[in-house]
Amino acid sequence: MGKLTLKQAAEWCGGTVEDKYADVEFLGAGNDTRGLQPGQLFIVLQGARDGHDFIPKAMERGAAGVLCSRRVGDYPAIYVDDPRIALGQIAREELKRIGAKVVAVTGSVGKSTTKEMVAAVLEQAYVTSKTPANHNNDIGMPMAVLAMPENTQAAVLEMGMNHFGEISYLSQIARPDVAVIVNIGTAHIEFLGTQEGIRQAKMEIVSGMPPTGKLLLNGDDLLLRNLDYEPQQRITYFGASEGCAVRALDVVQDGDCLCFRVEAGKLTFPVRMLLEGEHYVADALAAVAVGLKMGVLPEQIQAGLAQFRNISGRQEILQVRGMTVIKDCYNAGPESMAAALNVLGKKPGRRIAVLGDMLELGDCTQAEHYRVGRIAAEKADYVFAYGPNSRRIISGTITGGMSEDRGRAFTDKDELVSALLRTAKPGDVLLFKASRAIQLERVLDAFLSEEK
């Protein structure tokens, strides 16, 4: 963004600012004093503590001003009823001002990866900005918008949710020209009840879309295929299935490269990516579909996907002490667990799956952990499960035919690390995967830091 004055931002969000501070300029925004950069607008939010208590600290850190709901000392400030809502209003108007084309991405599994792939493709033809990791909610996404350079031509915004109304709110801010739904899984089913409820919440992405907006859907997902949505001509399906406008054919895993051929109308061209796992094809096809909708040439799409590298913590391949470690601790749900185990199952050598809990599954929690355990029994030689639902995973491995001495449940990190150090040997392949809140990367870090 270019610098904004407090007066301009106040006009956009219906706030007030004292005349003597009207011309104070800020660049970007933050809501945590620990990471606040000089010159940013400090957003005062209500959490475990009242954000107003941190205003003096924010000013000490070099904040240009604050967005708050009441006066706390004589500081440059925009006063509003609700700083969270005001932040969204400022971000919405800033997107209008810079005039960037907006691509919104959501889905139950793989939305972060898809967002990164879309950005990799668009960067070949546009000055492109994107939401950073975890900035996909009602606070993070608007702040990401306010951090975008003023010359941004394409803004790729990830939208997450776990309740109804959240994506609708983000869509009203973003007003996407192109919206992508990668899939409908079971993540957040605890709060949304059914997969149909999840689909309803994801479809909120169209609520802010202009009449000319385009909706791109995964045609391989039965919950997204043949939706009762008008007008139908706004929908483009991507996938491997017949009838998809952007289609993947001849999918092959060539060593550590994922290869396939794209067919889109009269166009056909190959794609080669440094990724393992056919589950990434849908994410890549979404990026191809976005690129074609926005006029990116096939050779530019090929180049963008060839250069793509996954997010830190998402299927990172590490070589340590003669072992291959697949670090996939960014997040997890039943679908992504199954996909990661499928990748593990195709690796040569002895395979060890280190699996942590999957969260927000509600009444499906027990059944889904048990199901993952059964899948793991087919794909791994050893399973080490970590977290409150670890025993349920192991019960699934036993039912799946794994001997009891090859599956263990842990609730203590140090015990798990010790067991891994005793078991893992050069030539083994280890998969680490769990929901982000389980912090399985700490187990991995402790395991890697120990000398055997």
Which 3 state secondary structure label does DSSP give 309?
A: coil
pLDDT at 2: 64
Q: Thinking of the domain 99-307, which architecture would CATH place it in?
A: 3-Layer(aba) Sandwich (3.40)
In the predicted model, residues of the chain with pLDDT beneath 50 are: 452
Measured distance CA(54)–CA(60) in Å, rounded: 10
Which 3 state secondary structure label does DSSP give 246?
A: strand
> Would you give the distance in Å from CA 135 to the centre of its chain?
8
- Topology of domain 316-449 in CATH is Protein-Tyrosine Phosphatase; Chain A (3.90.190)
pLDDT at 188: 53
Q: Which residues contact 415 (CB under 8 A, 6 or more apart)?
A: none
Measured distance CA(44)–CA(65) in Å, rounded: 11
Encode pLDDT of 214-236 as tens digits. Answer: 999 999 998 998 777 666 668 99
CATH class of 4-81: alpha beta
Measured distance CA(386)–CA(393) in Å, rounded: 9
Burial class of residue 53, CB neighbours in 10 A (0-12, 13-18, 19+): exposed
Domain with CATH 3.90.190.20 in the chain: 316-449
Q: Is the dihedral of CA 49, 55, 56, 58 positive or negative?
A: positive
Measured distance CA(244)–CA(247) in Å, rounded: 6
pLDDT at 232: 65
Domain with CATH 3.40.1390.10 in the chain: 4-81
pLDDT at 97: 95
Encode pLDDT of 62-77 as tens digits. Answer: 999 999 999 998 999 9
Q: Which residues contact 249 (CB under 8 A, 6 or more apart)?
A: 240, 260, 261, 262, 263
This prediction has a pTM of 0.80
